[in-house]
């Protein structure tokens, strides 16, 4: 049965539709894979075998009644532990939410359920999505399937590792500054941050509300598009959700695959962002990026270099806006209503405030505390204009840079991350060096435009995956899929097969299920 885990979501959907297999078989195969390899990876914080199998049975019943709920009905999925799920814990990788089981489903989760996707479990992440390595999870790091000593990226390292290691064909991630795309790049998978407002944030525990966006994690562009269509679209529960239909994404992906196979990209204008490359990017990352651009050019696309001069301020603006919003969002974790409650030591009859203080001290990790302090400071009276206010202005300038760039090009491209996966522990004590990992992904979040990362090969110096980022104008997510699928087809042709086929085999424990 293990070959089922090697198939893409689209292949599984076909096999389910043809009756070749059942959702129970597919779901069991993935649960077996999780049981076999997750002790080494730690992609999951919670596995819901019982719930997944029960959902798979219902899917099979729908299928035999001839009434599948969607194209992906019966294809299992993993969900980042930042989205609320009825009956499953939601910790956000934090001690402070240990044991909390939400009474409601995030809209993304309810759409997955409505579409019939069995949920395998909840994936590991940096605490409250703060980090680029998943090392800041209070429950221990996730390991990169390509090299267990290395990080799988972050904050959604668990989702990327699960998909990359065949524990799940699909996963949901969330991307505030690159948390879907950067893990995709360093694990050799596909990750998409949709247009801000394109996928509901209702039930996504907010890190930075104006930047957060949930999106698909997959092994192929087509799979990502299939998942994006399930979770996307207007939600009246999220006031910032865009009340417009999604552009046709699956169609765009299929069309892109055809264009790639036919080497026909004439008329496509590619903009290479000058500020997102060059020095500071690993040689192997740059080499693979240049090769991919060359493939596009060889297929008839035109390439222009575009300048986005304000991108150099993106990281600084991001690290004012994000902590500001986060410091306020995280105030609700006060031990009064749910989650961890710690009795302060040495105080006989503590006040509510003393309990709050002790609980927050024990419940939050250092990175979270660092950002709460930063954000509290940035919003303080007398500093607001200089920090938060100024950062918002930079944000406007970055949006204008994008507007100008999209006048010259249909899509913008860059390496997704400046380096391949680094070693666990290598940067954990150097926050700024950690923050620099997201230098190429952050501008899209600040402007609300969509971005996609797909594998572009392995760096010569370390043999680890590199990522290629595509950016499109707001609500033109279809361009990501068209161009992404075309490039993917050409790369797979050049490699003679998917990149993940070259990942090392993981030691498989005997199934204990």
Partner 1 sequence: MTAVSVMSYDDALAAFDPVLGLEVHVELNTASKMFCGCPTEFGAEPNTQVCPVCLGLPGAMPVVNAKAIESAMRIGLALNCDIAQWCRFARKNYFYPDMPKNFQTSQYDEPIAFEGYTDVEVEGQTFRIEVERAHMEEDTGKSMHVGTSGRIHGADYSLVDYNRAGIPLIEIVTKPIEGIGDKAPLVAKAYVAHLRDLLLGLGVSDVRMEQGSLRCDVNLSLRPHGQVKLGTRTETKNVNSLRSVERAVRYEIGRQAALLTEGTAIIQETRHWQEDAGVTTSGRLKSDADDYRYFPEPDLVPIAPSREWVEQLKSALPEPPSVRRTRLQEAWGFSDLEMRDTVGAGAMTLVEQTVSEGATPAAARKWWLSDLARRANEAGVDLLSLDVTPADVARVQALVDEGKINDKIARQVFDGVLAGEGTPDEVVTARGLAVVSDEGALSEAVDRAIEANPGVADKIRDGKLAAAGALIGAVMKEMRGQADAGRVRELILTKLS
**Site of interaction with partner 1 (CB under 8 A):** 83-84, 90, 92, 97, 100, 102-104, 106, 201-206, 208-210, 236-240, 324-325, 327-328, 331-334, 336-338, 352-353, 356, 376, 379-381, 384, 388
Catalytic residue, chosen from 43, 179, 359, 456, is 179
* Cβ atoms 362, 340 nearer than 8 A: yes
For residues 102 and 85, what is the distance between their CA atoms, to the nearest angstrom? 6
Q: Which is nearer to partner 1, 53 or 92 (CB)?
A: 92
Q: Which is nearer to partner 1, 440 or 442 (CB)?
A: 442
- Please say if 349 is a catalytic residue: no
User: How far is C-alpha 345 from the chain's CA centre?
Assistant: 39
Q: Which is nearer to partner 1, 125 or 151 (CB)?
A: 125
CB of 53 to partner 1, least distance (A): 26
CB of 106 to partner 1, least distance (A): 6
Q: Which is nearer to partner 1, 281 or 318 (CB)?
A: 318
CB of 232 to partner 1, least distance (A): 17
CB of 244 to partner 1, least distance (A): 14
For residues 207 and 346, what is the distance between their CA atoms, to the nearest angstrom? 33
Catalytic residue, chosen from 23, 28, 70, 80, is 80
Q: Which is nearer to partner 1, 163 or 206 (CB)?
A: 206
- Please say if 200 is a catalytic residue: no
Following DSSP, what letter does each residue of 412-435 receive, concatenated?
A: EEEESSSSSPPBTTSSTT-HHHHH
CB of 34 to partner 1, least distance (A): 25
CA proximity to 174, closest of 152, 207, 143: 207
Residue indicated by tokens 């219902």 = 58
Tokens of 316: 């600084």
Classified as helix, coil or strand, 83 is strand
CB of 449 to partner 1, least distance (A): 17
Residue indicated by tokens 């649960």 = 31
Catalytic residue, chosen from 155, 159, 241, 453, is 155
CA proximity to 423, closest of 125, 135, 37, 40: 135
Tokens of 284: 């192997």
DSSP state of 244: S
Largest Cα separation within the chain, whole Å, is: 75
CA proximity to 467, closest of 101, 246, 193: 193
Expressed in angstroms, the distance from the first to the final Cα of the chain is: 14
- Please say if 80 is a catalytic residue: yes
Q: Which is nearer to partner 1, 387 or 435 (CB)?
A: 387
Residues assigned a catalytic role = 80, 155, 179
């Amino acid at each position: 049965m293990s070959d089922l885990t090697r198939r893409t979501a689209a292949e599984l959907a076909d096999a389910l539709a043809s009756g070749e297999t059942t959702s129970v078989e597919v779901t069991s195969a993935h649960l077996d894979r999780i049981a076999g390899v997750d002790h080494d990876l730690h992609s999951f914080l919670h596995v819901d075998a019982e719930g997944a199998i029960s959902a798979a049975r219902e899917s099979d019943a729908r299928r035999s009644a001839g009434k599948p709920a969607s194209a992906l009905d019966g294809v299992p999925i993993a969900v980042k532990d930042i989205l609320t799920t009825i009956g499953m814990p939601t910790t956000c990788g934090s001690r402070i939410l240990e044991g909390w089981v939400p009474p409601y489903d995030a809209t993304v989760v309810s759409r997955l359920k409505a579409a019939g996707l069995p949920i395998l479990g909840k994936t590991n992440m940096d605490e409250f999505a703060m980090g680029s390595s998943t090392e800041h999870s209070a429950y221990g790091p996730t390991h990169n399937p390509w090299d267990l000593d290395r990080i799988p990226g972050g904050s959604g390292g668990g989702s990327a590792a699960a998909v990359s290691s065949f524990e799940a064909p699909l996963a949901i991630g969330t991307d505030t500054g690159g948390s879907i795309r950067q893990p995709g790049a360093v694990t050799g998978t596909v990750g998409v941050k949709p247009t801000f407002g394109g996928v509901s944030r209702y039930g996504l525990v907010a890190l930075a509300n104006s930047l957060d966006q949930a999106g698909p994690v997959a092994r192929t562009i087509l799979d990502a598009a299939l998942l994006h269509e399930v979770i996307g679209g207007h939600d009246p529960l999220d006031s910032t959700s865009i009340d417009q239909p999604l552009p046709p994404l699956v169609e765009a992906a299929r069309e892109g695959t055809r264009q790639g196979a036919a080497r026909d990209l004439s008329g496509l204008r590619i903009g290479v962002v000058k500020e997102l490359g060059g020095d500071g990017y690993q040689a192997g990352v740059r080499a693979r990026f240049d090769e991919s651009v060359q493939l596009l050019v060889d297929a008839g696309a035109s390439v222009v270099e575009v300048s986005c001069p304000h991108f150099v301020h993106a990281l600084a603006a991001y690290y004012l806006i994000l902590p500001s919003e986060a410091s306020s969002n995280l105030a609700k974790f006060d031990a009064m209503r749910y989650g961890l409650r710690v009795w302060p030591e040495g105080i006989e009859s503590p006040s509510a405030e003393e309990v709050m203080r002790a609980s927050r001290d024990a419940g939050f990790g250092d990175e979270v505390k660092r950002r709460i302090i930063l954000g509290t400071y940035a919003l303080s009276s007398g500093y607001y204009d200089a920090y938060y206010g100024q950062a918002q202005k930079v944000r406007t300038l970055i949006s204008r840079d994008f507007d100008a760039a999209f006048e010259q090009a249909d899509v913008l491209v860059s390496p997704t991350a400046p380096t391949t996966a680094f070693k666990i522990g290598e940067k954990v004590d150097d926050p700024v060096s950690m923050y620099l990992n997201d230098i190429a992904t952050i501008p899209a979040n600040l402007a609300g435009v969509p971005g996609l990362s797909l594998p572009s090969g392995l760096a010569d110096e370390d043999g680890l995956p590199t990522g290629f980022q595509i950016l499109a104008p707001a609500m033109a997510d279809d361009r990501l899929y068209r161009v992404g699928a075309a490039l993917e087809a050409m790369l797979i042709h050049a490699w003679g097969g998917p990149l993940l086929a070259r990942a090392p085999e993981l030691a498989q424990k005997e199934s204990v299920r």
